[in-house]
């Protein structure tokens, strides 16, 4: 079985300051990990993915995430938040015998203060 836990349901940051969204995963196999973003009334967009290559993964819009097997974590960061980053973020895991099935975290709502 696989699952993810997003440690923060809501993160509020000031524009121009760093963003950190925390995610821990559980998987019996070598997982693939993803971060998706969902803007209000918009579809899901893939920010980045880890699929057993480099542990530091760079994504779109200045986001990156680091896979740490020893900590079973896949935290998402961005050095400088922009107002357009206000959205819902989902950490997602797939892996194991049914490696196409995605398990979504509960989501983290990001608000950006001017």
Partner 1 sequence: SAVISQKPSRDICQRGTSLTIQCQVDSQVTMMFWYRQQPGQSLTLIATANQGSEATYESGFVIDKFPISRPNLTFSTLTVSNMSPEDSSIYLCSVRVRSYNEQFFGPGTRLTVL
- Which range binds partner 1 by CB under 8 A, 10-18, 37-45, 54-62, 72-80? 37-45
Q: Which of 1, 10, 43, 56 binds partner 1 (CB under 8 A)?
A: 43
Contact positions with partner 1 (CB under 8 A) in 84-103? 90, 100-102
Q: Is 46 in the site for partner 1 (CB under 8 A)?
A: yes
Is residue 28 within 8 Å of 1, Cβ to Cβ? Answer: yes
Burial of 23 per CB tally in 10 Å (0-12, 13-18, 19+):
buried
Q: Is 42 in the site for partner 1 (CB under 8 A)?
A: yes
CB atoms inside a 10 Å sphere around CB 11: 18
């Amino acid at each position: 079985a696989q699952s993810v836990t997003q440690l923060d349901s809501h993160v509020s940051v000031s524009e121009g300051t760093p963003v950190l969204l925390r995610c821990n995963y559980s998987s019996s196999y070598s997982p693939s990990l993803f971060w998706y973003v969902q803007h209000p009334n918009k579809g899901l967009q893939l920010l980045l993915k880890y699929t057993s290559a480099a542990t530091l993964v760079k994504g779109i819009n200045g986001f990156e995430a680091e896979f740490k097997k020893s900590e079973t974590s896949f935290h998402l960061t961005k050095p400088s938040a922009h107002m357009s980053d206000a959205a819902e973020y989902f950490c997602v895991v797939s892996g194991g015998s049914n490696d196409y099935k995605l398990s979504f975290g509960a989501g983290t709502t990001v608000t950006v203060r001017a």
